[in-house]
A and B are shown apart, each in its own frame.
Chain A
Amino acid sequence: MRLLTHNMLSSNIKGVANGFPLKIEVVTVVEKEVEFNIEFLKKMFSKVEWKALAEASRTMGYTELPENADASMLDSDDFLHKFHHALLELHLEEGALVCPETGRKFPVNKGVPNMLLHEDEV
């Protein structure tokens, strides 16, 4: 699972008010190279929650993203490459996503998070 996907997922347990962002527990991270697409990155910049992305990438062992970012940084090629790497090339392969409110863990196996709820959580 890439961090782009992580950025749109929220804890779905009944009664949880602030389910975003899900915390990440890492067992294995893999990196897969993706073609660099500036237009796509510029479009996505306005849609992602930056803090969630920066923190998630740090948890995954990538420390190059700044704490805060604004649109003026999109002029920097260096910034765009780092954003690209964090957003699209880091994959959580094994680990878990953790609901920030309840601590409930959603396991991630072979890159696939299991977000199925138990009966009493729906």
Chain B
Amino acid sequence: MKLKQLESLLGSLQQFSTPKIELEQYPTGPHIASRMLYTAENSFEDVNSKVVADFGCGCGTLGLAAGLLGAESIIGLDIDAESLEIAYENADELELDMDFIQCDINSLNWRGQIVETVVMNPPFGTRRKGADMDFLSLAMKVASQAVYSLHKTTTREHVKRAALRDYNARSAEVICELRYDVPQLYIFHKKKEVDIAVDLWRFVPQRTQERSL
């Protein structure tokens, strides 16, 4: 599938109707989502025939993008029932089978190394400090192959250091810097649109054998 086609399909998906401020529910736009998954597949082969989990999936955009690029199994996790309902309808619309779990990412127990790739647009941690790093820490435990995540560019050094030192990353690379248009969703947004610089990261966890050494 071509990038343009992917972006256009994702553009047709429903987004949050009433986003929840405490969960930092910002939609992942089709522009960013398509580039994220297209790169994951075409540069790194982390999507096709893989088990892909979308952490904090919201309306399901990233997971569904993985599905469109041939992921064998996609699992979306979110704490918010309303988001999951929208995601469910979006999956239906694209005729993709996506499994969903309503859960708090921070208190979910995983077994084994079944999930190969985690994709996520975590809460940036502006409302609850460290929320993005909690997501990253868990994603690194769950994924056996790669983690793709978005973090504010201003936190680049911190993210890199934590990933390599604390979260068992074999590598942590910024693939590209993107502009994240946060539309005026919440009352505290004074400007009509807030443009935030975000990094698209690819993290590679240590292999299981290496972890046990």
Contact = CB atoms under 8 A, between A and B. Distances in A.
**A and B assemble together:** yes
Interface of A: 1-2, 4-5, 7-12, 19-20, 32, 34, 37, 39-40, 44, 47-49, 88, 110-117, 122
B51 interface: yes
B42 interface: no
A109 B102 CA distance: 10
Contact of B114 (A11, A47, A110, A115): A47
Nearest to B75: A5
B113 interface: yes
A96 B100 CA distance: 14
Contact of A12 (B81, B84, B109, B112): B109
Nearest to A52: B111
Contacts of B103: 12, 114-116
Nearest to A8: B114
Given A7-B111, A8-B115, A115 B102 contact: yes
Contacts of A9: 101, 108-111
A19 B102 contact: no
Given A2-B73, A111-B100, A8 B111 contact: yes
B111 A32 contact: no
B154 interface: no
Contacts of A12: 103, 107-109
Nearest to A35: B72
B49 A37 contact: yes
Contacts of B16: none
B109 A5 contact: no
Nearest to B50: A40
B207 to A, nearest CB: 14
B99 interface: yes
Contacts of A115: 101-103, 108
Contact of B102 (A39, A47, A114): A114
Given A88-B73, A116-B79, A40 B49 contact: yes
Interface string B3-46: 00000000000000000000000000000000000000000000
9 contacts: A37-B72, A40-B72, A47-B114, A110-B88, A111-B88, A111-B100, A115-B102, A115-B108, A116-B104
B97 interface: yes
Given A7-B112, A7-B114, A47-B114, A32 B97 contact: yes
B112 A49 contact: yes
Contacts of B110: 8-10
Nearest to A117: B107
B25 to A, nearest CB: 17
Contacts of A11: 109
